[in-house]
Amino acid sequence: DGVTEVLARHSESLRDKFVEIPCSEDYDSHKRFEGCTPRKCGRGVTDAVITREEALRVRRIAERGLSLGGSDGGASILDLHSGALSLGKHFVNLYRYFGDKVQDIFTEEDFALYRDVRKRIQQKIAQAFGISSAAMYLTKPTFFSRINNTEAKTTHDEYWHPHVDKVTYGSFDYTSLLYLSDYTEDFAGGRFVFMDAGSNKTIEPRAGRVSFFTSGSENLHRVEKVHWGTRFAITISFTCNPDHGIGDPLL
């Protein structure tokens, strides 16, 4: 792995940490939206936007939803927007598959909290990159992940491969992760790793911590394999292209 530098330790509470890096050329092959498409690129970490208590409430939404299914392998996904839920080696649509039962699992308060958290993260990203929050649109996939050390059963369970979000998803311009559990307390391994030339920059998850970054090749990244315990997070992604925007999930 070469040299590893810790950008954010789980034991410290960071008000704001931001590192600016040169933008890749990935954005040039997509339509540009002035006042939103990244011209300033980088990565940030903050523990000051979402409280630990709010993060644990959000985690309970994930736990209740994933209690309906879950992957046979180590990585389970719950997407409240599309309804995608890991079930065995496949995915089902939560809303179609479970129908009215969904009303017993989630409440309007759950979805209101989800919206509020999403808005605050959006505003934080806009502020850090000097763009208008109104020019950003939520995009898919935006999802909860639950990762443990169960052996991978399908390629969907192989969450640890290095990747670039803009290359993988196309619509992504800004990516964020809200961590819902604690490194070394709830799980080992599972750190987030930016893979820079000559060194790795790692973020140690902590409940309530938000990491965010521009989605191009300037932020090639991966997640370490989880060795024990369970790691919960939610990935919330934004696009500058209104054609790729999605609405908040509705119960």
List Cβ neighbours of 60 (8 Å cut-off, separation of 6 or more).
Answer: none
Please list the active-site residues.
231
Cα 89 to chain centroid, rounded: 22
Task: Provide the sign of the torsion angle of the four alpha carbons 82, 86, 87, 88, taken in this order.
Answer: positive
Cβ atoms of residues 175 and 148 within 8 Å: no
| Tokens found for residue 102 | 């969904």
Q: Count CB atoms within 10 A of the CB of residue 101.
A: 11
DSSP code for 62: H
Q: Report the interhelical angle of 108-129 vs 52-66 (nearest 10°).
A: 130
What is the DSSP secondary-structure string of 71-121? ESSSEEEE-TTT-EEEEETEEEEHHHHHGGGHHHH--HHHHHHHHHHHHHH
